Structure 1
């Protein structure tokens, strides 16, 4: 069980200035920032080795006005990025957090490259839903696993200790909310007490807690969960026990294109550049140019919660630029069909309905779902198909924080030395699934991770 206890009569045999709970992109960024600010840092990771939601993501981080954009002639600025975030959430994103992260993310990426040798590049092949500029940044390998590996290598090079197989169960806090340390449970049943001057919660959200998902996001209660099982909502539980405010627990990132049964993410670039989704009846059912997050709900509403991504050779070539898609091809999740008849046979949908759906892609103007069909070429044989479902990737709500990532109480005051970032903190997607703008998860993980790391040192 996890919880909060009084530090009275508790002695901590080990002490460190800043403890970071969680070794994903957020926690590792926070650790690097805290050490660069002059602090002594310890990262506590519940798993045998760092993995987490970062490794399961695409690894793409949106940022505005970066040097990489400038080198490619991309004119962008944080205010435009902020407008895109608020437009996607219908002006319901936390204004303080959103304003902070759009300003902080560009300098954070440049700092990671300059000080810690993590290279980034801009993806300019297509625009993700809701973004008006090419602002997705990635490491050269273009995977979340590679991003996490590079961050972990940087942490190791900096000499920052990462204690694995270390599940934090208890936070020790006095009546004023001052955190004095934590209790860590080890796999053999033993426990350790570690004292600290500052604590950063970087342990993501609650996507791996079915009860919390059913309570706060019922539309995704039966969805495939494509996040880390360790995201069980510990930060929310601790925060509520301390009297912290929680915000937007109904928010999350879904994805409408998870290949099944292979559980491999199929890039949404295929839909944005001209692909369509059909259900078992061979019918299109939504605007594929809306966000892939809310598309998850539309897919789950279809018979058996199943859809098929349908696209052509032009888009197949585009997909091969993404490692996840290559994995899907190698796993035989992608099927090539040389005619519409073969495509109907493979998918098992009525030929007449399928022909009508493909014919729509050759039309011009805005269709019944609100998609402007004239923006992309019509689909041509040979066709490609992937069987997909809607999935929950991670939650977007969490502990309320101020501009320095300090956790806030219900009355709006800040805890003296408790910080939250990434999925542990309120995100910038507003209160529901439709507010998620591509990249919001890693945006807050990296930007708030750096902010929290630096602030945890200046709070001493």
Structure 2
């Protein structure tokens, strides 16, 4: 068959046949047959994390009837367990702190981080983030002072309390007549004979439920950090990392979109995040305040200013996947001011080690004392000469100046890589519409959040996951409203 003979309907049928092997073959129904559906609404949103919640809240605010599906008994997905950073530039909080930032700088740094990310999605993010901030703040979402993180040269990560943010969105959904159905798992997308998405088949316990979406469906079901089959298929190296993402993140949304021929982006770039203590399973990123990272031999193996996804990939190649963060009293004092680097919890649980000398510290963490002393000495000398052995010249992404590690007491804690999120999946355009492998929009289908591809690319800037979720969730709702 020639390419010109491959009609949309023929392609849909072929895709459906292949998808049946994975159990996610789309169902075909007549949208005019009311008896084919149990519930009818304007928009169905799959997932209650930041993406799904913002999409549903905005859709409800725009007067659309919304049904939100959540397969777990607790809402929030990965958003509920993340640190809540939200990257935004040009805020009043940045101005108050005297931080000079701009959409142009933000865009350059996102493209430099991602390397293969979609410039159009990046441009959409940086030009929409401030408006989204004002919208969310106007609804009652609380934002804290901006802090720094991986990939940014200036502080632009505004901290939120995710439970508070999700609560604001969920209250708005219900206040506008929307419905959030817990313990209700989306199973398959329902299409008409032309391949347009017109609804969702779900399961509430053992009860099957078919919901018609007159305006559209938004997939915001998270990634697949808890899916052994997808990790093994696309990024087997990540299987060895800690797993702390949302328990429901098993790739359901990706599979449903994939079944309709959605293009999948960034799947080969899934990496675990470095900085999590293996015993407490909590994070502290003191390396971005000046700590060095050493392996069990007491040796450095990376430029500590690199993105924590890249550091996560590197640490998994070291003995037992462990990289100790080592630093001194001056760095410790600065880190305690940073909500992403504070070590109070580690200390409370006996995982932060302190000593008056590097030799004594080495004994406490179980690395060779002579090697640790030699490593720190070489690091300090390299900084003085402006020629660090691993090329470190900043604290993170060109911002901040590393300082020598000289002032007692000295500190250290063990850290490894943790897979919180996968940051990849169906390709979307600037209106959050899902795009197939041929670059065509799949009618009736939108997506937002962690389980979408194209925005992050090869690496991840701190605070852009929650930001991406809220921004593109809002965009999806606005796109549906005008469709």
Residue aligned with 2:461, SS: coil
2:150–2:462 CA contact under 8 A, matched in 1: yes
How far apart are residue 154 of structure 1 and its match?
4.8
Pairs within 5 Å for 1:211-230: 211-230=229-248
Alpha-carbon distance change, 7 to 111 in structure 1, aligned in 2, over 3 angstroms: same
**Equivalent residue number for residue 413 of structure 2:** 386
**Equivalent residue number for residue 4 of structure 1:** 26
Alpha-carbon distance change, 285 to 118 in structure 1, aligned in 2, over 3 angstroms: same
**Equivalent residue number for residue 141 of structure 2:** 118
How far apart are residue 61 of structure 1 and its match?
1.0
**Equivalent residue number for residue 152 of structure 2:** 131
Pairs within 5 Å for 1:135-214: 135-139=156-160, 143-156=161-174, 158=176, 160-187=178-205, 189-197=206-214, 198-214=216-232
Deviation readout 1:179-217 (Å, 9 max, x if unpaired): 222122123x22222211210000112221122112212
CA distance in 2, matches of 1:46, 1:338: 51
**Equivalent residue number for residue 314 of structure 2:** 298
**Equivalent residue number for residue 372 of structure 1:** 393
**Equivalent residue number for residue 425 of structure 1:** 452
How far apart are residue 440 of structure 1 and its match?
2.6
Residue aligned with 2:469, SS: helix
Residue aligned with 1:272, SS: helix
Q: Which moved more, 1:390-399 or 1:312-321?
A: 312-321
Q: Can you give the 5+ residue segments of structure 2 that lack an aligned partner in the other structure?
A: 1-22, 395-399
**Equivalent residue number for residue 107 of structure 2:** 82
1:253–1:436 CA contact under 8 A, matched in 2: no
CA distance in 2, matches of 1:70, 1:344: 43
Deviation readout 1:289-312 (Å, 9 max, x if unpaired): 111111001111111111211123
CA distance in 1, matches of 2:346, 2:194: 52
**Equivalent residue number for residue 50 of structure 1:** 75
1:53–1:228 CA contact under 8 A, matched in 2: yes
How far apart are residue 375 of structure 1 and its match?
2.2
Aligned with 1:231 (options 249, 252, 269): 249
How far apart are residue 405 of structure 1 and its match?
0.6
Q: Which moved more, 1:341-350 or 1:18-27?
A: 341-350
How far apart are residue 59 of structure 1 and its match?
0.8
Residue aligned with 1:184, SS: strand
Aligned with 1:13 (options 30, 38, 60): 38
1:66–1:107 CA contact under 8 A, matched in 2: no
Larger Rg: 2
How far apart are residue 12 of structure 1 and its match?
1.2
CA distance in 2, matches of 1:440, 1:113: 17
CA distance in 2, matches of 1:330, 1:146: 26
CA distance in 2, matches of 1:181, 1:25: 22
**Equivalent residue number for residue 442 of structure 2:** 415
* Alignment coverage as a number of residue pairs: 446
Alpha-carbon distance change, 52 to 360 in structure 1, aligned in 2, over 3 angstroms: farther
CA distance in 2, matches of 1:182, 1:97: 27
Alpha-carbon distance change, 294 to 416 in structure 1, aligned in 2, over 3 angstroms: same
**Cα RMSD, aligned residues only:** 2.1
TM-score (norm 1): 0.91
CA distance in 2, matches of 1:75, 1:422: 28
Alpha-carbon distance change, 196 to 83 in structure 1, aligned in 2, over 3 angstroms: same
1:330 aligns with 2:355: no
Alpha-carbon distance change, 149 to 356 in structure 1, aligned in 2, over 3 angstroms: farther
Q: Which moved more, 1:67-76 or 1:435-444?
A: 67-76
2:89–2:102 CA contact under 8 A, matched in 1: yes
**Equivalent residue number for residue 350 of structure 1:** 368
CA distance in 1, matches of 2:201, 2:344: 43
Alpha-carbon distance change, 147 to 369 in structure 1, aligned in 2, over 3 angstroms: farther
**Equivalent residue number for residue 13 of structure 2:** none
Alpha-carbon distance change, 310 to 247 in structure 1, aligned in 2, over 3 angstroms: same
CA distance in 1, matches of 2:61, 2:80: 24
